Structure 1
Amino acid sequence: MRNKKEFNVPFMKYVGGKGQFVDAIARLMPPKFGKGTFSNYYEPFLGGGAVALNMLLLSVPRKVYLSDITPELINTWHCVQRNPIRLLRSLHDIKLPACIEDYQSVRKEYNVAKCRDINTGAKWIDSMTDKQKFTIAAQYIYLNKTGVNGIYRVSKRKNEFNISWNKQLKPCFPNHQHLSEVSMLIRNAEITCQSFTLALRGVQENDLVYADPPYDKTYDNYTANGFGVEGQVHLFNVLQNMSARGAHVFASNSDTDYVRSLYSGWEKVILQRKGTISSDGCDRGKVNELLMFKRAMELQNVA
């Protein structure tokens, strides 16, 4: 039996990660009503993957589709899925930062690799050798664990990762047991780098969708283009369409008047985060978030 408390913890930090909410979210999702109450699982904003890993511990979907638009993030998930031991070796080859120059050296090497062509999206990964893929995945984890607050932010002009070193932090890298367990959980998942629109085009009746996009009026610099109001509206329309197909659809977002108005016909639950990071990297204390959902019709009246 897997130890849920140990292995549903993501192997990297992620702003807005759902680690503290996974149990609350799971209680509202179809597995609450018995095994086999949904078919396939879709998560188009994968990030640190807390909800996805928890779902895979609690249930056995027919097929799992995980995606994100950040190529370097998806490359890291692919490396964990394929060969976690090789990834750890690459990570251990990078020395811990003793000074800011050590950190900046790794960050510069990472940016040189990731910024070959700002316009090609995920294609730059396809052009890499296998060794390069594992090296840049190791650098991604290294920068995630040694940078400020686990933030992943890129500059709008150059698309370069620009988070500073957190010299006060003693980095806690994933170990062999943790990465190997995550690798086993996601071994049959289809993990892709693509927009949420493309990622959700295959959703059918009785599938389960969970969307955790960049939040309204908060941090959204995961890519040079951001997300914005246009992204929020487009996502809502896509999720409405998934619900109309008969899917169970769940979405997280900020508890703002705009989000409440946009999702006016959806059920809502307030979740309180114990400390959040604003777009300038400052701690904003406790903040409410919304979990909004529409279950497929056959579950609407189940207690």
Structure 2
Amino acid sequence: MTKTKAKPFLKWAGGKTQLLPTIDSFLPETFRHEYDVTYIEPFVGGGAMLFFMLQKYPNIKRAIVNDINPHLIKTYTVIRDEPFSLIGTLNELQNTFKSFVEYDQQKDFYLNIRNRFNQSQLTDVEEAAYMIFLNRTCFNGLYRENSKGGFNVPFGRYANPTICDEELILADSELLQKVELLNGDFSHTAEHVQGYTFFYFDPPYRPLDATSSFNSYVKESFDDNEQIRLKDFYSNLSAGGCFAMLSNSDCKGRNVEDDFFDKLYEDFFIERVYAKRCINANATKRGTLTELLIRNYENYQGEPTNLFNS
């Protein structure tokens, strides 16, 4: 039997799985040959890039990932440190959920777990298990919080959801042994720069329009002021000699007059790449759009894909 590869254990809006080959082609040429690399992700999210990088590049000797969502980082931590306890709790949830044959029974169980996740004092293992359970059974696999920080995604409709993927948890746990996990503002990751350091940023995307906004992963919003603060952080890292790549939405692809990012990152290299958006309540709005890859270095293995000539 082929050993299960480590990959994201959650479905996450904006996940980078289908963009990984493109992102890989734009890594710094020196990255591939440097022996001792420090890899930092200030917005780890679902972790597609993290799991990909750690499996493909053994020259990454230190990996530091951060997210402002405390439930998310708690879940990563439990998978890394207590995988067997997590598997036991997830199996109990899975068996109970699947013992209900009626949709309304499953929905009631889901809402009960959601309420406990938001209000109860939980052990770390319970919190992580509930996080995974809710992700596997909620509508469209979303993670969203209200203004009070409560998870508020409604119940989904799945015939036979996999709530406990034991092999995946163990594979992810093994890979996460070399990862330091942080919970806080992205700016604190600068404290972990050491030697040859590569940053990959995947922040909450700037909305393409008023109806497409989805960056409520936590109660704190990530508005244009935050995007500007992130750019200043990116510039400071660049001035300090770090290599950095950043993903974001291509607002100009929707509105040619919207050059927010083109002006904000005019001192850096901006590429437009195609990506398929898979999470949207309206199926007609799922499809292929352009996204931005912004880097602070010139040498890479890919070919320029800029769709707008300045």
**TM superposition score normalised by structure 1:** 0.85
1:265: which partner in 2?
267
**For residues 85 and 228 of structure 2, what CA distance do their matches in structure 1 show?**
41
Which of 101, 111, 115 is residue 104 of structure 1 equivalent to? 111
Indicate how the Cα distance of structure 1 residues 33 and 187 shifts in structure 2: closer, same or farther if over 3 A, else same.
closer
1:26: which partner in 2?
24
Which of 207, 221, 228 is residue 223 of structure 2 equivalent to? 228
1:269 Cα deviation from its structure 2 partner: 2.5
1:204 Cα deviation from its structure 2 partner: 4.8
1:28 Cα deviation from its structure 2 partner: 1.4
Larger CA Rg, structure 1 vs 2: 2
**For residues 196 and 34 of structure 1, what CA distance do their matches in structure 2 show?**
25
Contact 1:204-1:247 at 8 Å conserved across structures: no
RMSD: 2.1
SS for the counterpart of 1:63 is strand
| 1:59-78 superposed Cα distances (whole Å, 9 cap, x missing partner) | 13121101100000000000
**For residues 49 and 217 of structure 2, what CA distance do their matches in structure 1 show?**
19
Contact 2:67-2:186 at 8 Å conserved across structures: yes
Letter in 2 for 1:150: G
SS for the counterpart of 1:224 is coil
Which of 96, 117, 125 is residue 134 of structure 1 equivalent to? 125
**For residues 131 and 171 of structure 2, what CA distance do their matches in structure 1 show?**
20
| 1:207-260 superposed Cα distances (whole Å, 9 cap, x missing partner) | 000010000113110111211111100011101111111111000000022122
Question: Which structure 2 residues correspond to residues 1-303 of structure 1 after superposition, within 5 A?
Answer: 7-30=5-28, 34-36=32-34, 39-60=37-58, 61-94=60-93, 95-96=96-97, 98=100, 99=104, 100-113=107-120, 132-156=123-147, 158-168=148-158, 170-204=160-194, 206-217=196-207, 218-256=213-251, 257-278=259-280, 281-283=281-283, 284-286=285-287, 287-295=289-297, 300-301=298-299
Moved more, 204-213 or 223-232: 204-213
Letter in 2 for 1:29: L
Indicate how the Cα distance of structure 1 residues 135 and 24 shifts in structure 2: closer, same or farther if over 3 A, else same.
same
**For residues 83 and 35 of structure 1, what CA distance do their matches in structure 2 show?**
34
Moved more, 55-64 or 65-74: 55-64
Contact 1:213-1:253 at 8 Å conserved across structures: yes
1:174 Cα deviation from its structure 2 partner: 4.8
Moved more, 266-275 or 76-85: 266-275
**For residues 217 and 65 of structure 2, what CA distance do their matches in structure 1 show?**
17
Letter in 2 for 1:109: R
Contact 1:31-1:37 at 8 Å conserved across structures: no
Contact 2:137-2:158 at 8 Å conserved across structures: no
1:22 Cα deviation from its structure 2 partner: 1.3
2:256: which partner in 1?
none
SS for the counterpart of 2:153 is coil
**For residues 143 and 269 of structure 2, what CA distance do their matches in structure 1 show?**
31
Contact 2:31-2:37 at 8 Å conserved across structures: no
**For residues 288 and 275 of structure 1, what CA distance do their matches in structure 2 show?**
10
Contact 1:147-1:165 at 8 Å conserved across structures: yes
Aligned length: 277
| 1:159-201 superposed Cα distances (whole Å, 9 cap, x missing partner) | 2110001124532335222111111111021101111011223
Letter in 2 for 1:81: R
SS for the counterpart of 1:62 is strand
Identity %: 28
**Structure 2: gaps of 5 or more residues:** 208-212, 252-258, 302-310
Moved more, 71-80 or 17-26: 17-26
Letter in 2 for 1:178: L
| 1:111-163 superposed Cα distances (whole Å, 9 cap, x missing partner) | 1137xxxxxxxxxxxxx6xxx1101100000001111122111111x221100
Moved more, 258-267 or 191-200: 258-267
**For residues 57 and 205 of structure 1, what CA distance do their matches in structure 2 show?**
21
**Structure 1: gaps of 5 or more residues:** 115-127
**TM superposition score normalised by structure 2:** 0.83
Indicate how the Cα distance of structure 1 residues 102 and 301 shifts in structure 2: closer, same or farther if over 3 A, else same.
closer
Structure 1 runs (4+) greater than 6 angstroms displaced: none
